[in-house]
Structure 1
Amino acid sequence: MRSRLSTRNRALAAIVAVLPATALLTSVTAAPAAAKPQADDRGVIVNMFQWNWDSVAAECAEVLGPQGFGGVQVSPPQESISLPGADHPWWEVYQPVSYQLTSRLGDRADFAAMVRSCDAAGVDVYVDAVLNHMTGQNNGGTGYGGSTFTDKHVYPGLYSGNDFHYHPQHCPNPSGEIADYDNLAEVQNCELLGLADLRTDFYYVRDTLVAYLNDLVGLGVDGFRVDAAKHIPADDLRAIADRVDADVYQEVIPGGAVRLDPYRASGDLLEFTFARKLKEQFHGNIAHLETIGESWGMQPDEYAVTFVDNHDTERDGSTLSYRDGPTYRLATVFTLAWDYGSPQVYTGFRFSGRDESPPANADGTVRPVDCGSGEWTCTHRDPAVRGMVGWRSAVAGAPVRNWWTNGDNAIAFSRGDAGFVAINNTSAPLTREFTTGLPQGTYCDVLAASDGQCVQVSGSGRATITVQPKDAVAIHVATE
């Protein structure tokens, strides 16, 4: 496992390292605020759930790269089960049949072309990697690449019965599935939702998973989100991650017998508590957000990957989602503005049923994304989100200062002397004089869809700003 510093950022760091000191000094007009080491060298990652490879490739070239996004997380690319009798639910991609790269999202050539397109646009690619299990189809089935199997524990030429956990040898629950999340043996040796649970302590299984991940790295993939990492013993996961030269962050949902801290040996952790607390505060009192982060029992800043929602939480209601409209947008603005963790922005498809397929053809292959169709959320294209990507880059490393709140549902703060944001989560306009922390000058709001209000900051760093109901205003030094 390599550090989270991306290939692009390592190259930039090398360039800076060889520049003469005078070249650096001449670009500085004022002493900047003291900066801490960055936890989010990845930049802002867009989690493009169920986008097919051609659509991701186009989005990297036309939107993500030009708008300054640092990375894209793509859905699992390995061959998965095809379930036409169930109308091709979204979770097909989380039931591997083989590790060939033919899926409902495209084939190997499509995937490789997507990675090249994103790399050319300066966007790192992170793959959602399913390592914990195979399918849950007891009677077998067929994958999108044509691979067939007759039992969920037998995959010809790949895995056979001894490569999986069973009751009573490993799993203490007679059903073979997880029932008690306070029992560590159940959580890690029984089946998650009936999915055949791989013995990741076996060298053969580890070698097979490492080969799959390294095949993707060979195609140019920069990192991985490890799905269901909680159900893989931390030592097993580290043994796999240590053999892969890639950035890693992991899905380890808090609660039960599994401790989160040991997983930091393999990489960072998706911060579910952050997302849940955002929902609580944006539906309650955002004044409390002044201290959100490690002091709330979350991961240390340098190990946290923050998000507002993902494909699971938008379905189980544990977090905000696109259905929350302006509140969701404000929570995304806050996440990108806040000095904690490495942020993701989630973009998926609109749905009415929990298992509903993404927009797809009759054979289950996902159709090209059309952000104007109303089928896809395309959150990353929201002017406020795009504006906050540039804002976050402008304030990188600067600490939170000049916190203000009305004690209820309006807050404001600066990031050093580089940027300022005000968030109004109320139903009434807010006009007041704020301490922005910025140098004297005129700055324009980066969140508006068209030309927004411009703000005159005085020599004392103060400015009178109007923030409309359920809206925000953000300015930074590069907008002067």
Structure 2
Amino acid sequence: MHRGGAGSGAELSHRTPIAAAAALIAASVTLLAGCSGPAPAVRPAADRPAGTHDVGVELFQWNWDSIARECTDNLGPAGIAWVLASPPNEHVTGPEWWTSYQPVSYRVESRLGTRDQFASMVATCHEAGVDVLADAVLNHMTGRDAAGVGWAESSHEHYDYPGLYSDAAGDFHHCGRGEGDDITTYRAAFDVQNCELVNLADLATETTHVRGTLTAYLADLLSLGVDGFRIDAAKHIAAADLAAILAPLPPDTYVVQEVIRGSREAVQPEMYTGNGDVFEFGFARELEGMVESGTMSVSEGFGEDWGFLPGRVARTFVDNHDTERNGETLNYTDGAEYVLANVLTLALPYGAPVLYSGYAFSPGDDGPAQDASGRVEDADCGTVGPAERYADGDWVCQHRWDAIAGMVSWRSAVGDAPLVNSWTRGDGYAFSRGERGFVAMNAGDAPLARRFQTGLASGTYCDVVTGGSTPTAAEACSGDAVEVAADGTASLSVPPVGAVAIHVGARLS
């Protein structure tokens, strides 16, 4: 597909990356076929029986050794299905977080670790039963006008990357629309997909050479064991171009795409569902409004009924590394409100949730803690939770917060059980998931006290919001206990901006 603009349709027959890419892809398929790791768990299942794990987590800017330890020590035991690792490619130098998103080459060598460390991390996570996704930056290269040297000493200029791309060969777009070819309007698909995103050199993804080079990079990551990819800035690549880049990969390669929903914009998430799953930004934005305004009652039907993506292809989230910085969604600084938003996201049957775990920052450009050489230091969770005060650079580790970790186990326990026994009142919302779990949420500033129909059998249950991922210990509750009567009801006092959640797997014998 030719999209127009400078260099459009250039076939670059003087190069031979396609043959190399094909060979690499074939080798990747052979290697992957021989792997004995766990079956892929990244995909949201249409039928999700109890015990299924479908929750992912983005460990933003965690180095490879830290992710490996977290898979073994926490993610695997907690029932997390997959972890998203930040871009593993060589990038521009600098302390800011966004340097990782400005590729210089496709060498797996970055401030997060070496190629060997990356491969070892993937293998370790697989041993823990956790799949690994790599954040793949395919739309662009760097945004710096001056020539430079990348993290692994690869030289480059803004439109020249030796051995990869050059402007003279037609590997980049120059849309001619705005100053410096930057995007000036999001109401024209041509501008969004042919102009530059904040001066980032925009790749001509309609050309054979660019497509082949990107496919080869993804195939190389598959050869290191990754299970799939988050496609960064996917809306800035035509859906057909992205389909052509992904087509040669093994059919079980999981893909989730960043396509930010925007009102009256020309490019929308629905255009990309043929390539894989898509993050539903509308969900995260509306979630913030409901929690902050204390109108939890409008949550009923939250999902497809609100005009969002079909649940089978939607990835839901409370925040990510962009939205926590631009104020578009809730983030860790919102404390109890942030927790409540995660409880609702994990409790709903709509889509499949992705948790976020990063570090404290001020200002927004701040990168993670780095040593004198620029390498990212090991993540250290320490004491974490919504009430903690985090200094800049501290690892926030939201995925370990008791309520969030507890709701991951709750989601697994209820599986695909239907949403029933729904109750709403202004700032309150409660429901059961079949006969397997119950949750009550309160976004108000006063306790919510009433008797709820839980749908559960009588007995003593342990609240996972206060008890975390291990709500029972030594025949007692780690957090609060909930008594369910013979008629399935329970008298609860849900704290302000809080929740209570119980499930069949957290019932005392």
What TM-score, normalized to structure 1?
0.89
Tell whether the 8 Å contact from 1:248 to 1:266 is kept in structure 2 after alignment.
Answer: yes
**Alpha-carbon offset, residue 50 of structure 1:** 0.4
CA apart distance, 1:173: 3.2
Q: Distance in 1 between matches of 2:39 and 2:289?
A: 35
Q: Which residue of 1 aligns with 2:22?
A: none
Do residues 156 (structure 1) and 162 (structure 2) align?
A: yes
SS at match of 2:165: coil
| Aligned with 2:375 (options 365, 375, 389) | 365
1:177 corresponds to which residue? 182
Q: 1:7 to 1:120 in 2, by over 3 A?
A: closer
- Cα pair 2:180 2:199 within 8 Å, conserved: no
Instruction: Give the structure 1 partner of residue 464 of structure 2.
Output: 446
Decide whether the 8 Å contact of 1:165 with 1:190 is kept in 2. no
Match among 54, 59, 69 for residue 70 of structure 2: 59
CA distance in 1, matches of 2:38, 2:408: 17
Letter in 2 for 1:395: V
Aligned to 2:260: 253
Q: State whether residues 36 and 398 of structure 1, in contact with CA within 8 Å, keep that contact through their aligned partners in structure 2.
A: no
Answering whether residue 346 of structure 2 is matched by residue 336 of structure 1, we say: yes
**1:165-215 Cα shifts (integer Å, max 9, x gaps):** 343xx4433531101111211110011110000011111111111111111
Checking the alignment, whether the CA contact within 8 Å between 1:333 and 1:388 is kept in structure 2 is yes
Residue by residue over 1:282-302, the C-alpha shift from the partner in whole angstroms, topping out at 9 and shown as x without a partner, is: 011111111110111100000
Q: Distance in 2 between matches of 1:163 and 1:288?
A: 51
Shift of 1:148: 1.1
The alignment status of 1:117 with 2:144, answered yes or no, reads no
Task: Answer yes or no: is the 8 Å Cα contact 1:171–1:189 preserved in 2.
Answer: no
Report the 3-state secondary structure (helix = DSSP H, G, I; strand = E; otherwise coil) of the residue aligned with 2:430. Answer: strand
Q: How does 1:55-454 map to 2 (within 5 A)?
A: 55-83=66-94, 88-149=95-156, 151-161=157-167, 162-167=169-174, 170-245=175-250, 246-255=253-262, 256-284=265-293, 285-372=295-382, 374=390, 375-405=394-424, 407-449=425-467, 451-454=478-481
C-alpha displacement of 1:9: 4.8
Question: CA offsets per residue over residues 70-104 of structure 1, 9 Å max, x none?
Answer: 11011000000003xxxx11000000000001101
Give me the whole-angstrom Cα distance separating, in 2, the residues matched to 1:199 and 1:430: 56
Q: Which has the larger displacement, 383-392 or 370-379?
A: 370-379
Q: Partner amino acid for 1:447?
A: V
Amino acid at match of 1:313: T
| Amino acid across the alignment from 1:433 | R
- Partner of 2:465, secondary structure, is coil
The equivalent of 1:17 in structure 2 is: none
- Cα shift readout 1:96-150 (whole Å, capped 9, x = no counterpart): 000001101001011011101100000010111000000011112111111111x
Asked whether the equivalents of residues 166 and 172 of structure 2 are also in contact (C-alpha less than 8 Å), the reply is: no
Shift of 1:152: 0.9
Equivalent residue letter for 2:396? T
Asked if 2 retains the 8 angstrom alpha-carbon contact of 1:36 and 1:399, the reply is no
Q: Which segments of 5 or more consecutive residues in structure 1 lack a partner in the other structure?
A: 14-34
2:462 and 2:176 map into 1 onto residues whose CA distance is 60
Runs of 4+ in 1 over 3 A off after TM superposition: 6-11, 38-42, 163-167, 170-174
Relative to structure 1, the CA distance from residue 10 to residue 368 in structure 2 (aligned partners, 3 Å threshold; closer, same or farther) is closer
SS at match of 1:291: coil
2:375 is paired with a residue whose SS is coil
Equivalent AA in structure 2 for residue 417 of structure 1: E
The separation in 2 between residues aligned to 1:261 and 1:288, in whole angstroms, is: 24
Cα shift at 1:216: 0.9
One-letter code aligned to 2:302: I
Asked if structure 1 preserves the Cα contact closer than 8 Å seen for 2:53 and 2:80, the reply is: no
Q: 1:56 to 1:10 in 2, by over 3 A?
A: closer
* Letter matched to residue 255 of structure 2: V
3-state SS of 1:448 partner: helix
What displacement does 1:362 show?
2.6
8 Å contact 1:227–1:250 — kept in the other structure? yes
**Residue segments in structure 2 that go unaligned for 5+ positions in a row:** 1-24, 30-35, 384-389, 468-476
Secondary structure, counterpart of 2:180 in structure 1: coil
Shift of 1:459: 2.4
How far 1:440 sits from its partner (Å)?
2.1
Per the alignment, in what secondary structure is the counterpart of residue 79 of structure 1? coil
RMSD: 2.2
1:44 aligns with 2:55: yes
Distance 1:439 1:7 in 2: 38
Tell me the alpha carbon deviations over residues 198-243 of structure 1, each in whole angstroms, 9 at most, x when there is no partner: 0111111111111111111111101111000000000000111222
The 1-side partners of 2:179 and 2:412 are apart by 52
Query: Does the CA contact (< 8 Å) of 2:123 and 2:225 recur in 1?
Result: yes
Q: What's the offset of the Cα at 1:404?
A: 1.0
Match of 2:14 in 1: none
Q: Which residue of 1 aligns with 2:386?
A: none
Offset of 1:451 from its aligned partner? 1.9
Cα deviation for residue 432 of structure 1 reads: 1.4
Residue 321 of structure 2 aligns with an amino acid whose one-letter code is H
Q: Aligned to 1:403, what secondary structure does the other structure show?
A: strand
Equivalents in 1 of 2:460, 2:170: separation in Å? 64
CA drift of 1:39 comes to 11
- Whether the 8 Å contact between 2:37 and 2:126 is mirrored in structure 1 is no
Q: How far 1:466 moved relative to its partner? A: 2.1
**Which string of whole-angstrom CA distances, capped at 9 and with x for unpartnered residues, describes residues 370-402 of structure 1?**
112840110011111111111100111111111
